[in-house]
Chain A
Amino acid sequence: MTAVPGDPWRPALAPALMLRHDRVRDTDLLVLPERVVVLEGHAGQIVGLCDGTRTVPGIVDTLAERYPGAPVADDVPSFLDRLRREGWLT
């Protein structure tokens, strides 16, 4: 992967991961080779937007449209950073 300086991060799910809805538990999950992460609240929707085409501000805008008044600009970038530090987003 080549990072072009100045090119904004376009988060994408790491290849080892699968994002899926769990119909039995009615929640979104990140499934990894050896573990399962339960995505609470709207976390699954946020991860679902990480398709490698959207920038972080783009994701924030999409969510702000979906949830007017929600603190997405404050919460979403730090959430995405956390997932990147875990190695779940590239």
Chain B
Amino acid sequence: MTVPRPAAASPEPPRPWALLAELTHACPLHCPYCSNPLELARRSAELTAAEWADVLRQAADLGVVHTHLSGGEPLLRPDLERIVAAAEGAGVYTQLVTSGTGLDEDRLSALRAAGLRSVQLSVQHAEAAANDRIAGRPSSFAAKERAAALVRRAGLPLGLNVVLHRDNLDTVGALVELGESWGVDRIELANTQFYGWGLLNRAALLPTREQLARARETVEHHRERLAGRVELVWVVPDYFDGIAKPCMGGWGAVSLTVTPDGTALPCPAAASLPDLDPPNVRDRPLDWIWDRSPAFARYRGTAWMTGPCGTCPRREEDFGGCRCQAYALTGDAARTDPACALSPDHHVVRALTDPDAGVTPPLYVHRRPGAVPQVR
């Protein structure tokens, strides 16, 4: 009988720095670019505050120092203060990622007392009526304006995040000026990443190359003007640039996501991969999930790479791009991200970004439970 030699012990994976905690999929807004999955988790399936507290303690033990409390709209959790307090107690820095709806003075002061460190506020458009139309909710712009003023008055750091697409890209300058007038420290201008509802609405959301070129120029102008005062972040439109994004800083390398029902994912979009079989924090400890689970090991490092990635000098910089995008565009998550000009599938992206002249983009579908039939 021969005993198989054990494979050389793989070195321990790097420790994660950050946890994206998706506390709920419920949301008062209905943005068509939302990266939440089409099949939204039910409220009855959500982790309790006690379960989140346990996850945050485990995350801190694993090396996590930073958590984004997100959703959906995390303010819809009446126990958010308990979750913030648990993070603070574990030494994890908290940032609330919110639409602003539901943030009043009492709530903010309770969150602050619990240890909340900073706030990131979403805005859909610089004009109130257009903002409310894209968000699918009347008066949501007014709620944001109030929320920004409250956060400023409380002295917490405030960032604005704006998802950019065909319907607001031409007003990027006004969006920057809006952030400036609200006194924010940072503005994240994120060209739409096409996952979940954003993928469903891709044809309606994709801008034109001309729109992008103008927006880039505007952002550069403002970046110089605001240097040292407001940080401007431009999240690249990878469909147009021909360069794959270093998605998540590598699979299972820097951060992890826990969804409302406790599913642990290497990337918030990874629930879309049909055969990933992601672990759940209700079944397994977080250190096993990070260190040992097949889902987190699957695309870690470079050994799994196929096609041009395997020998590419950029493979340690972009990690082959995004696995969820490779799956969405080719049906195979292990292929080179088609956003990369070196991908044999890059023509798929070019066909989307350079459509035939005269093609009218469709209207988008607002994110609502039941808005699209589930195909499973």
The binding surface of chain B is classed by DSSP as loop
Interface residues on A, range: 10 to 19
Say whether A16 faces chain B, with CB atoms less than 8 Å apart.
Answer: yes
A25 partner residues in chain B, CB cutoff 8 A: 15, 63
Say whether A4 faces chain B, with CB atoms less than 8 Å apart.
Answer: no
Complex Cα–Cα for A32 and B93 (A): 8
- A31-B66 in contact given A16-B118, A20-B91 (Cβ < 8 Å): yes
Instruction: Tell which of A31, A34, A87 touches B65, judged by Cβ atoms closer than 8 Å.
Output: A31
- A29-B65 in contact given A16-B185, A24-B15 (Cβ < 8 Å): yes
Are B93's CB and A18's CB within 8 A? yes
The 0/1 profile, CB within 8 Å of A marked 1, for residues 111-146 of chain B is 000000110100000000000000000000000000
Task: List B residues 219-277 near A (Cβ within 8 Å).
Answer: 228
Say whether B61 faces chain A, with CB atoms less than 8 Å apart.
Answer: yes
Task: List B residues 174-193 near A (Cβ within 8 Å).
Answer: 185-186
Task: List A residues 27-68 near B (Cβ within 8 Å).
Answer: 29, 31-34, 36
Are B93's CB and A34's CB within 8 A? no
A29 partner residues in chain B, CB cutoff 8 A: 65
A15 partner residues in chain B, CB cutoff 8 A: 155-157
Q: A14 to chain B: closest CB distance in Å?
A: 9
Residue of B nearest to A15 (CB): B155
Say whether A22 faces chain B, with CB atoms less than 8 Å apart.
Answer: yes
A87 partner residues in chain B, CB cutoff 8 A: 228
Complex Cα–Cα for A33 and B95 (A): 7
Complex Cα–Cα for A32 and B233 (A): 15
Residue of A nearest to B229 (CB): A87
Q: A32 to chain B: closest CB distance in Å?
A: 8
Residue of B nearest to A21 (CB): B91
Complex Cα–Cα for A31 and B66 (A): 8
The binding surface of chain A is classed by DSSP as loop
State how many residues of chain B have any CB contact under 8 Å with chain A.
Answer: 20
Instruction: Tell which of B66, B157, B228 touches A16, judged by Cβ atoms closer than 8 Å.
Output: B157
- A20-B65 in contact given A33-B118, A33-B186 (Cβ < 8 Å): yes
B62 partner residues in chain A, CB cutoff 8 A: 24
Complex Cα–Cα for A20 and B90 (A): 12
Are A24's CB and B61's CB within 8 A? yes
Task: List B residues 1-58 near A (Cβ within 8 Å).
Answer: 15, 17
Residue of B nearest to A33 (CB): B118
B185 partner residues in chain A, CB cutoff 8 A: 16, 33
Q: B253 to chain A: closest CB distance in Å?
A: 14
Are B65's CB and A33's CB within 8 A? no
Q: B274 to chain A: closest CB distance in Å?
A: 32
Residue of A nearest to B62 (CB): A24
B61 partner residues in chain A, CB cutoff 8 A: 24
Complex Cα–Cα for A9 and B19 (A): 37
B156 partner residues in chain A, CB cutoff 8 A: 15-16
Are B159's CB and A36's CB within 8 A? no
B66 partner residues in chain A, CB cutoff 8 A: 31, 36
A36 partner residues in chain B, CB cutoff 8 A: 17, 65-66
Instruction: Tell which of A22, A24, A33 touches B117, judged by Cβ atoms closer than 8 Å.
Output: A33
B157 partner residues in chain A, CB cutoff 8 A: 15-16, 32-33
Task: List A residues 1-22 near B (Cβ within 8 Å).
Answer: 15-16, 18, 20, 22
Are A34's CB and B15's CB within 8 A? no
Instruction: Tell which of A18, A22, A31, A32 touches B63, judged by Cβ atoms closer than 8 Å.
Output: A22
Q: List 20 A-B contacts (CB under 8 A).
A: A15-B155, A15-B156, A15-B157, A16-B156, A16-B157, A16-B185, A20-B65, A22-B63, A22-B65, A24-B63, A25-B63, A29-B65, A31-B66, A33-B95, A33-B117, A33-B118, A33-B120, A33-B157, A34-B159, A34-B186
Interface residues of A (CB under 8 A from B): 15-16, 18, 20, 22, 24-25, 29, 31-34, 36, 87
A-B complex: 7 closest residue pairs judged by Cβ atoms: A16-B157, A33-B118, A24-B63, A31-B93, A33-B157, A18-B93, A33-B95
Beyond the given pairs A20-B65, A25-B15, 14 more chain A to chain B contacts, judged by CB atoms under 8 angstroms and listed by A's residue number, are A15-B156, A16-B118, A16-B156, A16-B157, A16-B185, A18-B93, A20-B91, A22-B63, A32-B157, A34-B95, A34-B159, A34-B186, A36-B17, A36-B65
